[in-house]
Amino acid sequence: MTLRVQILKDKFSQSLGLPFKELLPSSVIEQALSELKIRYYRRLFDPIVTLWAFLSQVLDPDKSCHNAVSKAIAYLAEQGVEIPSSDTSAYCQARSRLPEKFLENLFSQVGKSLEEKVEIEHLWCGRNVKVIDGSTVSMPDTLDNQKAYPQPSTQASGCGFPIAKIGVIFSLATGAAIALCIDTLNTHDIKLARNLYQFLNPLDILLGDRAFCAYADLVSIKNRNCDAVFRKHQARKTTMRKGKIIGSSDKLVTWQKPKKCPKGLSKDEFNALPSTITVREIYYYIVVPGFRTEQVSLITTLLDTTAYSTLDIVGLYGQRWDVELNLRHLKTTLGMDILRCKTPSMIRK
């Protein structure tokens, strides 16, 4: 058994296209197991082999469990050792035994290790930028999945598939996802975002679209010693009659605290909000021949015009599209727009 496990570990760690040796070596996995005090029997599919097999299964065009087990058998056959059964039961049970917290910790560790390798010249104005956005994923129509992530209410029962909404934060410097949360379809993007702010590091800059541009969220981000660059929410009108002009198409504006407690905030959280905040508003125009000229207004907490010029911030918001491309890559290129697991726990994993 020990020989077969070692053969699989060596094969997975050296496989082309699978960066386990650099990003997720066995030493990192063993440390995560030790921190969570996870004990396991000496099986062929121990947590390390199971995790690598699971990841290679997700990356493979053929995402079936049978294909994952067949790969392990092929690796062992090359070495002339005893071949295990081709039945997928042992592998599927091993996947289900992997704790979600274990995978969450590894996910976080990989993102941090990538960011530690980023040189200062790849940062924006010397600071790390994180991009946030939301998306959806579909899954098999099982009773458990429907209960955890119900299908859209506009669809008749039995005529749709369970859908979950995900919120993701990517690092602009590395392109890697560093934080993720999952909830039901009718969850607003801003609720997902509030679950993700805890993963920001001091001095990070959060970049997002208009869905995240809310008074309470700007305050929360500033309280974490971070800054934000969002597109202005459509509910707020743009006028140059208010505010202090600090440059061409650039001004400082004082926002008043909402009169009513917004949805998603408790009374205590609402009462703790300051009566006013000062933000910077930048607007510019997108002119495309043959199309109506569009005005874009940006709201940011970066008030220093010397360190963060108007053009720098406008150029930074242009990179927000990277989050759309990253999500499209995960969902379309990796075939993860429709997940294949039949239980909510495996869907999250």
CA dihedral 98, 102, 108, 109 (to 10 degrees): -100
Q: Is residue 133 part of a domain?
A: yes
Q: Is residue 209 part of a domain?
A: yes
**Residues 136 and 268 occupy one common structural domain:** yes
Range of the domain at 7: 2-106
DSSP code string of 260-289: SPPTT--HHHHHTS-SEEEEEEEEEEE--T
Q: Is residue 157 part of a domain?
A: yes
**Residues 100 and 140 occupy one common structural domain:** no
Task: State the pLDDT at residue 207.
Answer: 96
Q: Is 124 helix (H, G, I), strand (E, B) or coil?
A: strand
DSSP code string of 92-103: HHHHHHS-HHHH
**Residues 149 and 11 occupy one common structural domain:** no
**Residues 148 and 265 occupy one common structural domain:** yes
Structure tokens, 221 = 């981000």
**Residues 172 and 66 occupy one common structural domain:** no
**Residue 180 · residue 200 · CB < 8 Å:** no
The last residue of a domain, from among 47, 76, 106: 106
Task: State the pLDDT at residue 2.
Answer: 63
Q: Is residue 214 part of a domain?
A: yes
Q: Please write the tens of the pLDDT for every residue from 304-320.
A: 999 999 999 999 999 99
Q: Is residue 338 part of a domain?
A: no
Which residues on adjacent β-strands are paired with residue 129? 205
Cβ neighbours for 287, distance < 8 A, ≥ 6 positions apart = 293
Model confidence, pTM: 0.88
pLDDT tens for the chain, residues 1 to 349:
567 777 776 776 666 556 677 788 888 888 999 999 988 877 888 888 888 889 888 888 888 899 888 888 887 877 777 777 888 999 999 999 999 999 999 999 998 889 988 999 999 999 999 999 999 999 999 999 999 999 998 888 888 899 999 999 999 999 889 999 999 999 988 999 999 999 999 999 999 999 999 999 999 999 999 999 999 988 877 665 677 888 888 899 999 999 999 888 889 999 999 999 999 999 888 887 877 778 889 999 999 999 999 999 999 999 998 888 888 888 888 888 899 899 999 999 9
**Residue 285 · residue 293 · CB < 8 Å:** yes
Give the neighbor-by-neighbor strand order of the sheet with 250-256. 177-184, 163-171, 129-138, 205-208, 227-231, 294-300, 276-286, 250-256, 244-247
Pairwise CA distance, residues 267 & 289, whole Å: 49
Cβ neighbours for 230, distance < 8 A, ≥ 6 positions apart = 207, 208, 209, 210, 212, 213, 218, 298, 299, 300
Q: What is the CATH number of the domain that holds 215?
A: 3.90.350.10
The last residue of a domain, from among 71, 106, 141: 106
Among all chains, which residue has been given the structure tokens 């995560």?
Answer: 32
**Residues 210 and 307 occupy one common structural domain:** yes
Alpha carbon of 219 to those of 130, 204, 228, 254: distances in Å?
17, 14, 10, 13
Task: State the pLDDT at residue 198.
Answer: 93
**Residues 126 and 96 occupy one common structural domain:** no
Task: State the pLDDT at residue 25.
Answer: 83
**Residues 222 and 141 occupy one common structural domain:** yes
Length in residues, the chain = 349
Pairwise CA distance, residues 11 & 98, whole Å: 21
- Name which of 255, 303, 245 is nearest 277 in CA terms: 255
**Residues 135 and 228 occupy one common structural domain:** yes
Q: Please write the tens of the pLDDT for every residue from 254-305.
A: 999 999 998 888 899 999 999 999 999 998 888 878 777 788 899 999 999 9
Q: Is residue 188 part of a domain?
A: yes
Pairwise CA distance, residues 267 & 265, whole Å: 7
CA end-to-end span of the chain: 27
Q: Is residue 322 part of a domain?
A: yes
The last residue of a domain, from among 77, 106, 135: 106
**Residues 178 and 327 occupy one common structural domain:** yes
**Residues 93 and 224 occupy one common structural domain:** no
Q: Is residue 131 part of a domain?
A: yes
- Name which of 170, 158, 98 is nearest 134 in CA terms: 170
Provide the number of structural domains found in the chain.
Answer: 2
**Residues 93 and 233 occupy one common structural domain:** no
